[in-house]
Amino acid sequence: MDKVLGIDVGGTSIKVGLFTPDGELLEERKIPTPALVDDDAYAVVTSGITRVLAAHDAAPADVIACGLDIPGPVADDGTVGFLPNIQLDPEGLVGAITATFPRATVAFVNDANAAALGEVWGGAARGVQSFVLIALGTGVGGGVVTGGRLVAGAFGAGGEIGHITVERDEPLTCGCGRHGCLEQYASAKGVVRLYLEECERRGVTPVNVEHATDTLSVFKALANGDECAGIAVDKMCDYLALALSQISCVMDPELYLIGGGVAGAFATFAPRLRERFQELALPTCKDVRIEAAGLGNQAAMYGCAYEALRLRGEA
């Protein structure tokens, strides 16, 4: 029976999803790995996968497609760009995979782009032709789908929603070296920073924030009527709505999906986000749907598997 793999490539482990070609997730398993740059490391990956297959009475030759989602740019033609956060030799890993799974079509996909495709295959974007996923996590990523196809971009920057400029006067520098990127306000780190800044401005003691990305405490404070938390979340929604209004002037999608860790509080901030979007967007497209993503942190695993299947011509 044909099988499809979706592999989340992280810094210290990979997460393997074993799927049927119809998109049913049979098993998900984490495999701790060293840096993916030599044969020993590749063998850890391929033998780990082979064991997962065996547990489902499947052989390496049953794998027809294998997607890998990675935290870095992948261009329209599949070229992998610079990966600052992981050690990975893409060619070596592909070589090892095709040697072990000879029938498999292999595809690299940027992680946020993969998450968008995952929502198409098994999440909140099933049957949707054009939408944009915005993943509000440690950073802000995104994936753009139009005409049912991913827009990876000529330089792999398609869906880099987190780097839309929303505040030209921002004095702080973004990780990309520029100023006033959406990511500086709508990431988990951004929301926590906006909260602490507002508390400082007012001279009030903030609630206990566990770490730089602890948005849970900020949203809990908001639920308890903390005005500074209210201001922080309003600012986040304002900047996010502005970025969405810019995207609509470019691609005019039928749907926005909000994912990532911060989206755990989607029900709390969605009314404000939708209201601000209505105010800021071009009137023609102000009624676009803004919804929560459906697959959580499995989305990228689904999506890279789907893209490999699509490349093969079977999705």
Whole-angstrom distance, CA of residue 45 vs CA of residue 34: 10
CB atoms within 10 A of CB 219: 21
Q: Which is nearer to a second copy, 104 or 174 (CB)?
A: 174
Q: Which is nearer to a second copy, 184 or 298 (CB)?
A: 184
Q: Which is nearer to a second copy, 3 or 276 (CB)?
A: 276
**In angstroms, what CA-CA distances link 281 with 238, 242, 250?**
12, 8, 12
The window from 5-13, 129-137, 196-204, 264-272 that contacts a second copy (CB under 8 A) reads: 129-137
The window from 10-18, 38-46, 141-149, 215-223 that contacts a second copy (CB under 8 A) reads: 141-149
Q: Which of positions 211-270 make contact with a second copy (CB under 8 A)?
A: 242, 245-254
Whole-angstrom distance, CA of residue 238 vs CA of residue 194: 12
Q: Which is nearer to a second copy, 178 or 202 (CB)?
A: 178
Among 71, 73, 122, 206, binds a second copy (CB under 8 A): 73
Q: Write the interaction track for a second copy spanning residues 171-190; mark x where CB under 8 A is met and - where it is not.
A: -----xxx------------
Minimum Å gap between C-beta 32 and a second copy is 30
Whole-angstrom distance, CA of residue 20 vs CA of residue 64: 10
Whole-angstrom distance, CA of residue 197 vs CA of residue 205: 11
Minimum Å gap between C-beta 210 and a second copy is 31
Among 11, 32, 155, 202, binds a second copy (CB under 8 A): 155
| 313 is an interface residue for a second copy by CB under 8 A | no
Whole-angstrom distance, CA of residue 47 vs CA of residue 41: 10
| 287 is an interface residue for a second copy by CB under 8 A | yes
Whole-angstrom distance, CA of residue 178 vs CA of residue 170: 9
Whole-angstrom distance, CA of residue 46 vs CA of residue 57: 16
Q: Which is nearer to a second copy, 50 or 146 (CB)?
A: 146
Residue pair 144/151 in contact by the 8 Å Cβ criterion: yes
Residues contacting residue 208 through CB under 8 Å, at least 6 positions apart: 217
Q: Which of positions 1-60 make contact with a second copy (CB under 8 A)?
A: none
Residue pair 195/210 in contact by the 8 Å Cβ criterion: no
Residues that bind a second copy (CB under 8 A): 73, 76, 81, 129-130, 132, 144, 146-147, 149, 151-161, 163-165, 168, 176-178, 242, 245-254, 280, 282-285, 287-288
